[in-house]
């Protein structure tokens, strides 16, 4: 997937071009069709459901590949299988930043399983796109459960049970994942372990790269070209529902133009929203309150969409995966305390269920613990 400026709108941030990526037009290859992860593990089948050149013969489709390698590595504890399923020069982006190489992935996996020896990853759904020529793109939504009976990077074992969401967006080719963006609900996990979240954020923030702390100045996010006003986007006219245009227009008008009334147009009244640190809202009002809180704390925030793909059709609806990033300055009151004037970077992955042109469900995870580290460090 290549990056390009949206050609018809001047001044918008760069977004990922998805026109050349194959988007499945139905849910034939999905966990919901298979009856869930248990059925996929017990009886994956033996015949290929689409072309998977270069992948091991045992996998029947890309969803099967993601489900079974995850189960084998994490729950069967065949951690060394990472050497077979990740490129030696793989790039992994997580709460800690960008990491290179599969050895770091192996080390982190050992660390996490040691902290939660009975860990289980329950795949909720896997949104996929692409093919075996350009790479399969997968957005793996899962619930992680386990008991903290071993040492973790957050402290000694607490014995407590944790349950939290995670989304891992991977790109795989020839049986190897070579790029991954994985977001955990880390702040929620730390709270469930019984630790003081702000104290941990300050502790970890003070361990950040010293070079990144040398210049304390921050300026306005480059949200607008010159002194122009942010454009008001409208949906392109087309015969069918244009998923990417809908996401681009909706996110821009809400986040960058601050048009919260656009929520009424894009979301159903009884929408369900799940977010980082156990946020759950039923209905558009709660979701608008969340948006307002973020905009109030970071008045100059600018959002850009970095990647988007989907599966589905107009009749059955769509499932989308949207990776995005935000730059903003902590200049307003909110849950993170008094304004510090510090510029923060946040990124996240959102998944949506869209029916009849409106969003009915959204799961949004972002690196909230990392945001708190940037704010609370001494």
Q: Where in the chain are the domains?
A: 10-18+232-376, 31-194
Give the Cα-Cα-Cα angle 26, 172, 136 (nearest 5 degrees): 20
Give the Cα-Cα-Cα angle 179, 184, 186 (nearest 5 degrees): 140
Q: What is the pLDDT of residue 229?
A: 80
- Give residue-wise pLDDT tens across range 139-155: 999 999 999 999 999 99
Give the Cα-Cα-Cα angle 50, 56, 57 (nearest 5 degrees): 65
Closest CA to 322 of 364, 266, 260, 293: 364
At the second CATH level, the architecture of 10-18+232-376 is Roll (3.10)
Q: What is the pLDDT of residue 221?
A: 61
Residues 225, 132: Cα–Cα separation, whole Å: 39
DSSP structural state of residue 354: E
Q: What is the pLDDT of residue 218?
A: 52
Backbone angles phi, psi at 167, to 5 degrees: -130, 130
Give the Cα-Cα-Cα angle 266, 308, 183 (nearest 5 degrees): 100
DSSP string, 323-344: EEEEEEE--S-STT-S----EE
DSSP structural state of residue 75: I
Residues 227, 11: Cα–Cα separation, whole Å: 11
Please check whether residue 176 is in contact with residue 86, taking contact to mean a CB–CB distance below 8 angstroms.
yes
Give Rg (Cα) of the chain: 21
Is the CATH code 3.30.450.20 the one for domain 31-194?
no
* Token pair belonging to 304: 């850009």
Q: What is the pLDDT of residue 209?
A: 66
Please check whether the two domains, 10-18+232-376 and 31-194, share a CATH topology.
yes
Residues 367, 109: Cα–Cα separation, whole Å: 19
253-262: Cβ within 8 A, 24+ apart: 254/291, 255/291, 255/301, 255/303, 255/326, 256/223, 256/230, 256/302, 256/303, 257/230, 257/231, 257/232, 257/233, 258/295, 259/232, 260/288, 260/291, 260/292
Q: Provide CB contacts within 8 A for 338, sequence distance 6+.
A: none
Q: Provide CB contacts within 8 A for 172, sequence distance 6+.
A: 62, 65, 135, 136, 138, 178
Residues 204, 22: Cα–Cα separation, whole Å: 41
Please check whether residue 151 is in contact with residue 169, taking contact to mean a CB–CB distance below 8 angstroms.
no
Which residues of the chain fall below pLDDT 70? 1-19, 209-227
Please check whether residue 264 is in contact with residue 271, taking contact to mean a CB–CB distance below 8 angstroms.
no
Q: Provide CB contacts within 8 A for 368, sequence distance 6+.
A: 185, 186, 187, 276, 277, 346
Residues 308, 306: Cα–Cα separation, whole Å: 7
């Amino acid at each position: 997937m290549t990056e390009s400026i949206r050609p018809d709108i001047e001044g918008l941030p760069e977004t990922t071009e998805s026109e050349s990526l194959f988007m499945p037009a139905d849910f034939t290859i999905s966990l919901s069709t298979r009856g869930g992860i248990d059925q996929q593990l017990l009886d994956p089948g033996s015949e290929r459901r689409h072309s998977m050149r270069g992948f091991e013969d045992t996998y029947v489709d890309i969803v099967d590949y993601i489900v079974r390698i995850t189960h084998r590595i994490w729950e069967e504890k065949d951690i060394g299988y990472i050497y077979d399923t990740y490129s030696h020069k793989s790039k992994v982006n997580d709460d800690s930043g960008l990491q290179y190489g599969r050895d770091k992935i192996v080390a982190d996996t050992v660390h996490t399983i040691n902290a939660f020896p009975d860990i289980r990853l329950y795949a909720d759904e896997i949104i996929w796109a692409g093919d075996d020529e350009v790479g399969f793109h997968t957005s793996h939504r899962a619930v992680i459960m386990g008991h903290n009976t071993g040492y973790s990077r957050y402290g000694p074992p607490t014995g407590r049970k944790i349950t939290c969401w995670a989304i891992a967006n991977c790109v795989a080719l020839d049986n190897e994942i070579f790029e991954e963006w994985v977001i955990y609900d880390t702040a929620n996990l730390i709270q469930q372990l019984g630790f003081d979240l702000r104290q941990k954020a300050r502790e970890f923030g003070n361990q950040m790269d010293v070079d990144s702390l040398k210049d304390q100045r921050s300026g306005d996010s480059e949200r607008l070209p010159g002194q122009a006003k942010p454009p008001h986007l409208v949906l392109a006219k087309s015969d069918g529902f244009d998923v990417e245009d809908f996401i681009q227009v909706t996110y821009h008008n809400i986040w960058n133009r601050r048009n919260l009334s656009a929520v009424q147009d894009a979301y159903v009244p009884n929408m369900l929203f799940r977010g980082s640190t156990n946020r759950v809202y039923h209905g558009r009002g709660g979701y608008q309150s969340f948006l307002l809180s973020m905009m109030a704390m970071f008045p100059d925030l600018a959002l850009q969409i970095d990647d988007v793909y989907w599966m589905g059709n107009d009749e059955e609806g769509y499932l989308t995966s949207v990776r995005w990033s935000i730059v903003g300055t902590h200049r307003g009151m909110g849950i993170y305390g008094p304004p510090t004037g510090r510029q923060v970077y946040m990124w996240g992955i959102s998944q949506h269920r869209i029916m009849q042109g409106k969003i009915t469900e959204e799961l949004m995870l972002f690196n909230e613990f990392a945001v708190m580290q940037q704010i609370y460090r001494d």
